[in-house]
Amino acid sequence: MKYTTPYIAPTLTVDAVIFQLIDSALNVLLIRRPNEPFKDSWALPGGYNPVGETTVDALTRIIKEKTGVVIDTDLRYIEQLYTFDTVARDPRGHAVSVTYTGYGREITPATDDAIAFFPVSRLPDLAYDHAEIVKYAHERLISKLSYTNAVFAFLPPTFTLAELQSAYEAIFGHELDKRNFRKKFLSLNLIHETTEMKRTGAHRPARLYEFNTQTLESLPRSFD
Amino acid sequence: MKYTTPYIAPTLTVDAVIFQLIDSALNVLLIRRPNEPFKDSWALPGGYNPVGETTVDALTRIIKEKTGVVIDTDLRYIEQLYTFDTVARDPRGHAVSVTYTGYGREITPATDDAIAFFPVSRLPDLAYDHAEIVKYAHERLISKLSYTNAVFAFLPPTFTLAELQSAYEAIFGHELDKRNFRKKFLSLNLIHETTEMKRTGAHRPARLYEFNTQTLESLPRSFD
DNA sequence: TATACTTAATGTATGAAATACACTACACCG
DNA sequence: CGGTGTAGTGTATTTCATACATTAAGTATA
């Protein structure tokens, strides 16, 4: 380094794209900004990452503070997404954001009008470059679903094959053939039958299944 | 934000994993560190990212300064890799590194004993967590080659099918069947014949091909 | 000018997986 | 016991992956 001026770091921030399924639709967690800039716009939850704290630790602390969601227990999967760093993305000054994406089920944020899940198909205008970040996270999620068992993070401990297929359809954004879906998914050996059935209406009950593992694994061949 | 202390950002750094093929082997660009910490250890080229400069701009400036390699012209592809942020990764203090990986051919760094390409199969001990970063970049590269046309970045403008296959073999780390490789690759419609032949020794000359495009594209189906 | 050398170029048969597609099974309710 | 609504299943066709050996063509040299 040959600086003649002292080194000054950009601001470091963290943001999270937290997905879950609600009523068979993919939703993302947003907060309404209480302050300028972008006051009253919806935005991804996030905040400042100070020296001495890892991005995951900062994110965990901030998401808890701002939304009531506890990353370690409410999310069943989290991964780093991308680092966004265009100088002008924050009007207050150069801020580099390390973004994460997480998946869960039955995530219940603090009760507050300024905290809500929105279907990704019907997002409001978002602050900063957050629309771009959500789009990137959704693409990553689609891709992840096609070569890993990541769908486990969206489903309850036991689930029917119809629920499993519905999760794929909600995230992929298109329908799948029932027979082919079942044949292919069962051949991956990611799930096994339980002895339980799910009874819902005046019709035949559905077999409940569960995942062999709740940790991310790569598939032997891809899925779509 | 509810800080009672003023916000202090971690140091932001950038590092690059630059790959090229040399003698049919995958090589990575390293520099020998002139200063503590890790003085005289080999390391990825990189440096400090000050406020007001994007990570790509900082990386471009730093890689030029430290290695003579010009990212915009010497590399034919670059992408962000991952952001490494464990607090203890730099003994001088908390430094968050945004890493990039780039691919090229005939990259010629400045002539200097402290700047060199090393085969990834025979790396020296690396400073910091750089061995982990190189491993991650290599995995990403293998994956990238199997679902995109990224191999174009490693090849000259025209090339033989044997050279193309050799590039895949060097990066994948295993051999491929010649007939199946040609059949499959040609069916992807990424390349076309030229009218030129490559004459090298006392044997039949090989047809030269070129890529239809020099920008990254996803393949309709994956390759391995 | 023939032949030896070396790399380039090519095809087929088999098995595995992807796709397209429609009917029967079962439980509850009235 | 018949009606309603979701669960569950199989086959035929096509596409793709894999395994594998011989001929083609140019140069060098005897």
| Each residue's pLDDT tens digit, B61-110 | 999 999 999 999 999 999 999 999 998 888 899 999 999 999 999 999 99
In this structure, how many other beta carbons lie within 10 angstroms of the beta carbon of residue B214?
12
Domain covering A150-211 assigned CATH 3.30.300.10 in the classification: no
- Intervals of CATH 3.90.79.10 along chain B: 11-147
pLDDT of residue B4: 60
- Residue A81 to residue A96: CA distance in whole angstroms: 13
Q: What digits encode the pLDDT tens for the residues B113-128? A: 999 999 999 999 999 9
In this prediction, residue A224 has a pLDDT band, given cuts at 50, 70 and 90, of confident
List the single residue in A1, A83, A87 with the smallest CB-CB distance to B83: A83
In this prediction, residue A98 carries a pLDDT of 98
B40 close to A (CB below 8 A)? no
> Where are any strands of DSSP class E within chain B?
11-22, 25-32, 42-43, 46-48, 75-84, 95-104, 115-119, 191-198, 206-211
- What is the pLDDT averaged over residues B12-28? 98
Give the architecture-level CATH label for domain B151-211: Orthogonal Bundle (1.10)
Average of per-residue pLDDT values in chain A: 96
Interface of B with A in 45-64 (CB under 8 A): 47-55
CB contact under 8 A, A10 and B12: yes
Q: pLDDT at position B88, please?
A: 84
**C27 C1' – A211 CA distance, angstroms?**
26
Q: Which residues contact B137 (CB under 8 A, 6 or more apart)?
A: B17, B19, B28, B81, B99, B101
pLDDT tens per residue across span B201-211: 899 999 999 99
Residues in chain B: 224
- The mean pLDDT of A37-56, rounded to a whole number, is 97
Task: Cite the residue boundaries of each domain of chain B with CATH code 1.10.10.10.
Answer: 151-211
pLDDT for the residue B140: 98
Positions of CATH 1.10.10.10 in chain A: 150-211
A11-147, CATH topology level? Nucleoside Triphosphate Pyrophosphohydrolase (3.90.79)
- Asked if strand C contacts B182 at the CB level, meaning under 7 A, the answer is yes
Q: Which residue of A has its CA nearest to B63?
A: A1
Answer whether residue B144 shows pLDDT above 90: yes
> Are residues A7 and B55, on separate chains, in Cβ contact within 8 Å?
no
- In strand C, the nucleotides that come within 7 Å of a protein beta carbon are 4-12, 17-22, 25-29
In strand D, the nucleotides that come within 7 Å of a protein beta carbon are: 3-11, 16-21, 24-28
| pLDDT of A169 above 80 | yes
